[in-house]
Amino acid sequence: MLVNNIQLTADGRLRHLLTLEGLPADLLTHLLDTAESFVPTNRQAVKKLPLLRGKTLINLFFENSTRTRATFELAAQRLSMDVLNLDISTSSTAKGETLKDTLKTLEAMHADIFVVRHSDSGAAHFIAQHLTPDVAIINAGDGRHAHPTQALLDMLTLRRHKGDFNQLKVAIVGDILHSRVARSQIHALNILGAAEVRVIAPKTLLPVAIEDLGVRVFTRMADGLKDVDAVIMLRLQKERMQGALLPSEQEFYRLYGLTSDKLAYAHPQAVVMHPGPINRGVEIESAVADGERSLILPQVSYGLAVRMAVMSHLIGAQVPQP
């Protein structure tokens, strides 16, 4: 697979993290194990580690996301990295400079990692192709394509709270069509050997041939949620929708919003997840989002550990074992 010729070194380490598609299970497991070792760090009084001192990370966000950018920034600071947040709206790209020119200028600053978020699918891959191999690229979301670190933090959340993947039935619910998170979650779950991956959505929010990714497709919550061990809700990507894909948000909530009544179709110990930000009363009921089976807040915490793990792996740092 071409993308993995760019992503992986000759000895199977990550050079870039652009997508989870096609990556080996042992590499994903290694990243999760490394993230596991960072989880206690985020609970200590002194949270900073000297692992990547002297290294520089640049957040290159062509698409706004305060939450994701802040998480990458904090994760880098916890590893003692220097961090530069580039405001694309006021940069030279807004004045007519090409993306290649901007990247070459940034490359001259001798950064070690670029974290890239872009509205176009394949943007992170393009940047990885046109930068020196000495700079590692982390895809923080590109169009409808991929969001690998979000999927990894979701996998860490599931593993910590539900155990081995080979026993898990997971349902991903909502706007599958526009969701890069859903695609990355599907790849991760199948690579890690989940027992069953389901998607639940109205037909207008399902990609063509989604079954080819290795999922079972449902259009009714009662059928799709039956006996699942985890329910991952998705945000409605209203900014990406063109045309009348939904009759109304109220109708979507009635049919596909996760309420206590609908959650009753799942296994009694099923957990609930959401990548955020949450649209309460549209995708999920507050009683469920804030309930005892919700892992939405732990997901945020594990996101720091996962991003620390990815950064340290890309730089080749020796992570101390707990």
| Residue 251 covered by a domain | yes
Q: 247 labelled as ligand-binding?
A: no
**Same domain, residue pair 204 and 256:** yes
**Same domain, residue pair 18 and 129:** yes
Q: What is the pLDDT of residue 42?
A: 77
Q: 269 labelled as ligand-binding?
A: no
E strands, 89-208, in order = 113-118, 136-142, 169-173, 196-200
Q: 277 labelled as ligand-binding?
A: yes
**Same domain, residue pair 97 and 186:** no
Round to whole Å and give the CA distance between 32 and 188: 11
CATH number at residue 180: 3.40.50.1370
**Domain count along the chain:** 2
**Same domain, residue pair 166 and 267:** yes
| Residue 321 covered by a domain | no
pLDDT tens, residue by residue, 121-138: 998 998 898 887 789 999
Q: 95 labelled as ligand-binding?
A: yes
CA 282 to chain centroid: 21
pTM of the entire predicted model: 0.93
Q: What is the pLDDT of residue 238?
A: 59
Q: 150 labelled as ligand-binding?
A: yes
| Residue 55 covered by a domain | yes
Per-residue burial over 115-139, b if 16 or more Cβ lie within 10 Å, else e, is bbbbeeebbbbbbbeebeeebbbbb
**Same domain, residue pair 230 and 189:** yes
**Same domain, residue pair 220 and 155:** yes
**Same domain, residue pair 154 and 119:** no
pLDDT tens, residue by residue, 30-53: 999 999 999 998 777 778 999 999
Q: 147 labelled as ligand-binding?
A: yes
Residues 6+ apart with CB under 8 A from 290: none
Q: Which of 177, 155, 98, 168 is nearest to 273 (CA)?
A: 155
**Same domain, residue pair 103 and 48:** yes
Q: Which of 88, 108, 112, 111 is nearest to 99 (CA)?
A: 88
Cα angle: 195, vertex 200, 202; to 5 degrees:
160
Round to whole Å and give the CA distance between 231 and 52: 36
**Same domain, residue pair 115 and 180:** no
Q: 235 labelled as ligand-binding?
A: yes
| Residue 322 covered by a domain | no
Q: What is the pLDDT of residue 45?
A: 73
**Same domain, residue pair 108 and 179:** no
Element (H, E) at 272: strand 271-273
Q: What is the pLDDT of residue 207?
A: 93
Residues of the chain with pLDDT under 50: 1, 240-244
Q: 7 labelled as ligand-binding?
A: no
- Residue range of the domain that includes 41: 2-146+301-315
Token pair for 169: 């039935």
